[in-house]
Structure 1
Amino acid sequence: MTFHHKVAWITGASSGIGEALAIELARQGARLVLSARRIDELQRVATATGLEADQLLILPLDVTDEASIPERVNDVLIRFGKIDYVFLNAGISQRSFVQETNFAVYRRLMEVNFFGAVALTQAALPVMLAQKKGHFVVTSSVSGKIGVRQRSGYCASKHALHGFFDSLRAEVANDGLNVTIVCPGYIQTPISQSALDASGYAYGRSDKHQAEGMPVDRFVSRMLKAVAKEREEVYIGGRELTGIYLKRFFPGLLSRILRNRIVEQ
């Protein structure tokens, strides 16, 4: 009953993890705010949730448009009067070597993955502090804990999320607010299809590891169990999670493994 009648705002709700979150949260009785840039895809996801119109708000949002975010927060309050959960799930990946990558690609990755999450958090935070309750759920990655080839900007943006939200958690610990950082491994989503190449264009291909990863509905089930338990940080995936523990206890070994890893083409 954790999410029953709760208001959950999901960014990146038009596909992948965000879409699966919307469907599962609706099944558990939550009221939803669905945000992404593609309104047609949001409408498709809204239909898939099976929710009545008064239990759902389609709220198109580009998280890089910082100036529009306070108004979007107000739209949610007008509709539902509160915000219980913000699932900061909007994100974009990368497939390119450092020496080949246009600097604008790094700016784009940081704007979407990091600054977009920070802007929405700052806008929603006063609402949650006034309520004396609220929960930020941040979709990071195993790449938020380690660095791998062809993901330099993506890894940097996810590492930044950990620093920011660990700090926020410490600041709001006595205010009734929670922060959960979720680190997926390989999950069956279209993230590699829309990843940026060296010039900023869509990579347009599915990675082998991604295609063979954990089904997204199973991932979301485990994710929401961790959120319900108010876990601070959780890792969900397969054997790739071993890298997190190798980084902690055997960093030299992990470094050798990663530098010799075959690059996906």
Structure 2
Amino acid sequence: MDFDGKNIWITGASSGIGKAVALEFSKHETSLILSARNEKVLNEVAEICRKNGSKVQVVPFDLSDEKSVAEAAQKVLSQKIKIDGLYQFGGISQRSFVSETPLDVDRKVFEVNFFGTIALTKEILPWMIQNGGGQLAVTSSIVGKFGFPYRSAYSASKHALHGFFESLRAENANSNIRVTVIIPGRIKTNISVNALAKTGEPHGKMDEGQNNGKSAEWTACKIYRALKKEKKEIVVGGTEILMVYIRRFIPRLYYYMASRVKPL
């Protein structure tokens, strides 16, 4: 895919991988739509992108609010522009045991990671098809490939995204809809700090593994190149991504290792 002059919508663009991807794309003569909840921070990111040479508009919305998602989609669609790429990075993680986590926390994780993501996709997909196709990218995680202690709802929500978007890809094989699932490992962002604890409040701590992870900027470069090649999956991170292949090819070893993980 040639990104020059293309209209790219990036969600979760106020921080972490989403912000880094927005900044990376802004170097390549793209027209960007940036979304997240925090409009003030989005405007700061947008200003950097404009200095890099991109046209940018800011469309804030809340992934956990279906009405907010729909209003943002209609604001963009009302402009009658072709959306060449919708890349979704917004989401929330979790740090709590299954036995201690109230159902409302599980629901909140799913509302943001799964339902918010597919709600925006369902708004944009018909327009993409009508306009000759486009590229969808959604952010999963290596724990979207296997279960992992202390992340039950987060892992489950990412598993759900795989099933949804693989189905979407198969259904639209003849409509020029290309689907990429991004599978990050430990990337140094605030995802663990903002993760939900069993109380539903932010975990408030940077995981040691997260702190030692790859930078968001390094990750964004890898993602940009892989999206350009229209890869169906992008597994990106450090040595921890080996767990994806251990789970696939040596499941017995995966079960042994997973059961001995010390949370945090």
Report the TM range for the smaller structure's normalisation. Answer: over 0.9
Residues 27-70 of structure 1: per-residue CA shift (max 9 Å, x gap): 11111111111111111111221359992111111122223333
Q: TM-score, normalised by structure 1?
A: 0.96
1:146 aligns with 2:152: no
SS across alignment from 2:247: helix
Residues 83-123 of structure 1: per-residue CA shift (max 9 Å, x gap): 11111111000110111112111000000000011100100
Aligned letter for 1:246? I
What's 1:31 paired with? 31
Aligned letter for 1:209? G
Aligned letter for 1:218? W
The share of aligned pairs that are identical, in percent, is: 43
Whether contact under 8 Å (1:7, 1:80) holds in the other structure is no
Q: Distance in 2 between matches of 1:80 and 1:224?
A: 26
Aligned letter for 2:200? G
Residues 175-218 of structure 1: per-residue CA shift (max 9 Å, x gap): 01100001000111111110000011001111111111111111
Whether contact under 8 Å (1:76, 1:82) holds in the other structure is no
Whether contact under 8 Å (1:33, 1:56) holds in the other structure is yes
Deviation of the 1:80 alpha carbon: 6.3
Sort the Cα spacing of 1:66 and 1:53 in 2 relative to 1 into closer, same or farther, 3 A: farther
Q: Distance in 2 between matches of 1:53 and 1:142?
A: 33
Q: Distance in 2 between matches of 1:172 and 1:38?
A: 33
Q: Distance in 2 between matches of 1:52 and 1:248?
A: 41
5+ unaligned residues in a row in structure 2: which ranges?
none
- Superposition CA RMSD, Å: 1.6
5+ unaligned residues in a row in structure 1: which ranges?
none
SS across alignment from 1:193: helix
Q: Distance in 1 between matches of 2:108 and 2:70?
A: 21
What's 1:248 paired with? 248
Q: TM-score, normalised by structure 2?
A: 0.96
How many residue pairs get aligned? The number is 264
What's 1:156 paired with? 156
Q: Distance in 2 between matches of 1:81 and 1:52?
A: 22
Q: Distance in 1 between matches of 2:183 and 2:52?
A: 32
Report which stretch shifted further, 178-187 or 3-12.
3-12
Q: Distance in 2 between matches of 1:52 and 1:29?
A: 8
Whether contact under 8 Å (2:144, 2:159) holds in the other structure is yes
Q: Distance in 1 between matches of 2:68 and 2:104?
A: 22
SS across alignment from 2:194: coil
